[in-house]
Protein backbone atom coordinates (compact mmCIF):
# COMPACT_ATOMS: atom_id res chain seq x y z
CA UNK A 1 0.00 0.00 0.00
CA UNK A 2 2.81 2.39 0.88
CA UNK A 3 4.54 1.62 -2.42
CA UNK A 4 1.36 2.30 -4.38
CA UNK A 5 0.82 5.61 -2.59
CA UNK A 6 4.40 6.61 -3.26
CA UNK A 7 4.00 5.78 -6.94
CA UNK A 8 0.83 7.89 -7.09
CA UNK A 9 2.64 10.85 -5.53
CA UNK A 10 5.51 10.44 -7.98
CA UNK A 11 3.13 10.22 -10.91
CA UNK A 12 1.32 13.33 -9.73
CA UNK A 13 4.59 15.21 -9.39
CA UNK A 14 5.75 14.12 -12.84
CA UNK A 15 2.47 15.13 -14.44
CA UNK A 16 2.62 18.51 -12.73
CA UNK A 17 6.22 19.01 -13.85
CA UNK A 18 5.36 18.04 -17.42
CA UNK A 19 2.46 20.49 -17.42
CA UNK A 20 4.72 23.29 -16.18
CA UNK A 21 7.41 22.50 -18.77
CA UNK A 22 4.78 22.35 -21.53
CA UNK A 23 3.48 25.77 -20.45
CA UNK A 24 7.00 27.20 -20.67
CA UNK A 25 7.44 25.53 -24.07
CA UNK A 26 4.20 27.08 -25.32
CA UNK A 27 5.44 30.52 -24.36
CA UNK A 28 8.86 29.94 -25.94
CA UNK A 29 7.07 28.80 -29.10
CA UNK A 30 5.91 32.40 -29.55
CA UNK A 31 9.37 33.92 -29.07
CA UNK A 32 11.11 33.56 -32.41
CA UNK A 33 14.45 34.92 -33.60
CA UNK A 34 14.74 35.48 -37.38
CA UNK A 35 17.83 33.76 -38.77
CA UNK A 36 17.65 33.28 -42.53
CA UNK A 37 14.82 33.78 -45.02
CA UNK A 38 11.60 32.56 -43.34
CA UNK A 39 13.42 30.36 -40.81
CA UNK A 40 13.22 31.49 -37.21
CA UNK A 41 14.98 30.12 -34.15
CA UNK A 42 12.99 29.31 -31.02
CA UNK A 43 13.75 27.31 -27.89
CA UNK A 44 10.32 25.74 -27.43
CA UNK A 45 11.78 22.22 -27.62
CA UNK A 46 14.17 22.93 -24.75
CA UNK A 47 11.61 22.07 -22.01
CA UNK A 48 10.95 18.72 -23.74
CA UNK A 49 14.68 18.00 -23.67
CA UNK A 50 14.78 18.79 -19.94
CA UNK A 51 11.71 16.60 -19.36
CA UNK A 52 13.38 13.74 -21.21
CA UNK A 53 16.59 13.97 -19.18
CA UNK A 54 14.79 14.15 -15.86
CA UNK A 55 11.81 11.82 -16.40
CA UNK A 56 12.45 9.82 -19.55
CA UNK A 57 11.42 9.81 -23.24
CA UNK A 58 7.69 9.54 -22.46
CA UNK A 59 7.79 12.76 -20.44
CA UNK A 60 9.63 14.51 -23.24
CA UNK A 61 7.10 13.26 -25.78
CA UNK A 62 4.15 14.42 -23.66
CA UNK A 63 5.74 17.85 -23.24
CA UNK A 64 6.13 18.11 -27.01
CA UNK A 65 2.57 16.94 -27.61
CA UNK A 66 1.01 19.44 -25.20
CA UNK A 67 3.07 22.28 -26.65
CA UNK A 68 1.98 21.37 -30.18
CA UNK A 69 -1.66 21.02 -29.12
CA UNK A 70 -1.59 24.48 -27.55
CA UNK A 71 0.10 25.79 -30.69
CA UNK A 72 -2.89 24.67 -32.74
CA UNK A 73 -4.96 27.34 -30.96
CA UNK A 74 -3.02 30.12 -32.69
CA UNK A 75 -1.66 28.24 -35.71
CA UNK A 76 -1.07 30.22 -38.90
CA UNK A 77 -0.35 27.06 -40.91
CA UNK A 78 -3.55 25.07 -40.36
CA UNK A 79 -1.61 22.84 -37.98
CA UNK A 80 0.95 21.74 -40.57
CA UNK A 81 3.77 23.73 -38.97
CA UNK A 82 2.92 22.34 -35.54
CA UNK A 83 2.84 18.79 -36.91
CA UNK A 84 6.25 19.21 -38.55
CA UNK A 85 7.66 20.73 -35.36
CA UNK A 86 6.29 17.82 -33.32
CA UNK A 87 7.84 15.27 -35.69
CA UNK A 88 11.21 17.04 -35.56
CA UNK A 89 11.00 17.24 -31.78
CA UNK A 90 10.34 13.51 -31.56
CA UNK A 91 13.30 12.87 -33.86
CA UNK A 92 15.43 14.63 -31.25
CA UNK A 93 13.87 13.39 -28.02
CA UNK A 94 13.45 9.67 -28.76
CA UNK A 95 17.00 8.75 -29.83
CA UNK A 96 18.54 11.07 -27.22
CA UNK A 97 16.25 9.63 -24.54
CA UNK A 98 16.95 6.03 -25.53
CA UNK A 99 20.72 6.54 -25.39
CA UNK A 100 20.62 8.46 -22.11
CA UNK A 101 18.27 5.92 -20.53
CA UNK A 102 20.87 3.21 -21.08
CA UNK A 103 23.88 5.36 -20.21
CA UNK A 104 23.02 7.94 -17.57
CA UNK A 105 26.35 9.74 -17.61
CA UNK A 106 27.59 13.04 -19.01
CA UNK A 107 29.05 11.12 -21.92
CA UNK A 108 25.72 9.38 -22.50
CA UNK A 109 23.91 12.73 -22.45
CA UNK A 110 26.35 14.26 -24.94
CA UNK A 111 26.16 11.29 -27.30
CA UNK A 112 22.37 11.27 -26.99
CA UNK A 113 22.10 14.96 -27.82
CA UNK A 114 24.53 14.62 -30.74
CA UNK A 115 22.60 11.70 -32.25
CA UNK A 116 19.26 13.36 -31.52
CA UNK A 117 20.39 16.66 -33.03
CA UNK A 118 21.55 14.98 -36.24
CA UNK A 119 18.33 12.95 -36.38
CA UNK A 120 16.21 16.09 -35.94
CA UNK A 121 18.25 17.94 -38.58
CA UNK A 122 17.71 15.15 -41.11
CA UNK A 123 14.01 15.04 -40.22
CA UNK A 124 13.84 18.81 -40.63
CA UNK A 125 15.30 18.55 -44.13
CA UNK A 126 12.79 15.88 -45.17
CA UNK A 127 9.87 17.67 -43.47
CA UNK A 128 10.65 20.90 -45.30
CA UNK A 129 11.15 19.17 -48.63
CA UNK A 130 8.03 17.01 -48.56
CA UNK A 131 5.66 18.79 -46.16
CA UNK A 132 6.34 22.45 -45.38
CA UNK A 133 7.59 23.83 -48.68
CA UNK A 134 4.84 22.14 -50.77
CA UNK A 135 2.24 23.26 -48.20
CA UNK A 136 3.25 26.91 -48.21
CA UNK A 137 3.60 26.85 -51.99
CA UNK A 138 0.02 25.58 -52.32
CA UNK A 139 -1.64 27.66 -49.60
CA UNK A 140 0.06 30.99 -50.30
CA UNK A 141 0.18 30.58 -54.07
CA UNK A 142 3.97 30.73 -54.00
CA UNK A 143 5.51 28.41 -56.60
CA UNK A 144 8.36 26.24 -55.37
CA UNK A 145 10.53 28.00 -57.96
CA UNK A 146 9.91 31.28 -56.14
CA UNK A 147 11.00 29.74 -52.85
CA UNK A 148 14.13 28.42 -54.57
CA UNK A 149 14.76 31.92 -55.94
CA UNK A 150 14.65 33.23 -52.36
CA UNK A 151 17.37 30.76 -51.53
CA UNK A 152 19.39 31.86 -54.55
CA UNK A 153 19.42 35.38 -53.16
CA UNK A 154 21.36 34.01 -50.18
CA UNK A 155 23.34 31.28 -51.96
CA UNK A 156 23.48 31.80 -55.76
CA UNK A 157 24.47 28.19 -56.47
CA UNK A 158 21.06 26.87 -55.34
CA UNK A 159 19.11 25.52 -58.31
CA UNK A 160 16.75 22.86 -56.92
CA UNK A 161 14.57 22.21 -53.88
CA UNK A 162 17.05 19.58 -52.70
CA UNK A 163 19.89 22.11 -52.84
CA UNK A 164 17.69 24.59 -50.96
CA UNK A 165 17.07 22.24 -48.05
CA UNK A 166 20.65 20.94 -47.98
CA UNK A 167 22.32 24.36 -48.09
CA UNK A 168 19.82 26.42 -46.08
CA UNK A 169 17.41 24.20 -44.16
CA UNK A 170 20.02 21.71 -42.93
CA UNK A 171 22.50 24.32 -41.58
CA UNK A 172 19.65 26.22 -39.92
CA UNK A 173 18.34 23.10 -38.19
CA UNK A 174 21.85 22.09 -37.16
CA UNK A 175 22.29 25.54 -35.62
CA UNK A 176 18.89 25.34 -33.92
CA UNK A 177 19.41 21.93 -32.32
CA UNK A 178 22.99 22.72 -31.34
CA UNK A 179 21.77 25.86 -29.56
CA UNK A 180 18.96 23.95 -27.80
CA UNK A 181 21.34 21.20 -26.70
CA UNK A 182 23.95 23.67 -25.42
CA UNK A 183 21.39 25.61 -23.39
CA UNK A 184 19.88 22.34 -22.13
CA UNK A 185 23.33 21.13 -21.09
CA UNK A 186 23.94 24.33 -19.14
CA UNK A 187 20.50 24.48 -17.49
CA UNK A 188 19.87 20.85 -16.64
CA UNK A 189 22.19 20.51 -13.66
CA UNK A 190 20.98 23.67 -11.84
CA UNK A 191 17.35 22.72 -12.53
CA UNK A 192 17.82 19.03 -11.75
CA UNK A 193 16.68 19.26 -8.07
CA UNK A 194 13.43 20.93 -9.15
CA UNK A 195 12.85 18.54 -12.06
CA UNK A 196 13.47 15.58 -9.76
CA UNK A 197 11.21 16.88 -7.01
CA UNK A 198 14.10 18.32 -4.93
CA UNK A 199 15.80 14.96 -4.90
CA UNK A 200 19.14 14.79 -6.66
CA UNK A 201 19.85 11.75 -8.78
CA UNK A 202 23.59 11.04 -8.78
CA UNK A 203 23.37 9.32 -12.14
CA UNK A 204 21.39 12.12 -13.81
Domains of the chain, with CATH numbers? 2-195 (1.10.1760.20)
Above 80 in pLDDT, residue 9? no
Mean pLDDT across 146-164: 87
Q: Are 90 and 53 in contact (CB under 8 A)?
A: no
Measure the CA–CA gap between 88 and 54, rounded to whole angstroms. 20
Q: What's the burial of 203, exposed, middle or buried (CB within 10 Å: 0-12/13-18/19+)?
A: exposed
E strands, the chain, in order: 33-36, 39-41
pLDDT, position 125? 92
pLDDT, position 195? 80
Mean pLDDT across 107-124: 93
Lowest mean pLDDT among 33-37, 96-100, 117-121, 122-126: 33-37
Tell me phi and psi for residue 40, to 5 degrees: -130, 140
pLDDT, position 171? 93
Tell me phi and psi for residue 23, to 5 degrees: -65, -45
Mean pLDDT of the chain: 84
Percent of the chain with pLDDT over 90: 36
Comparison of pLDDT for 127 and 193, the residue scoring more: 127
Most confident of 5-14, 77-86, 94-103: 94-103
Lowest mean pLDDT among 51-60, 117-126, 134-143: 134-143
Q: Are 180 and 46 in contact (CB under 8 A)?
A: yes
Q: Are 32 and 41 in contact (CB under 8 A)?
A: yes
Mean pLDDT across 172-200: 84
Mean pLDDT across 192-203: 64
Measure the CA–CA gap between 137 and 8, rounded to whole angstroms. 49
Comparison of pLDDT for 172 and 201, the residue scoring more: 172
Most confident of 39-43, 44-48, 135-139, 191-195: 44-48
pLDDT, position 198? 66
Amino acid sequence: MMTDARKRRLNTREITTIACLAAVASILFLLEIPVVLFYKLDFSNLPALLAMFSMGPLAGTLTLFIKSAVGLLHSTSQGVGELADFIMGLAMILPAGFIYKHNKTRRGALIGMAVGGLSATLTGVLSNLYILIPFYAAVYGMPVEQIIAMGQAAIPSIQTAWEFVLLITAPFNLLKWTAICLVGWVLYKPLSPILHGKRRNPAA
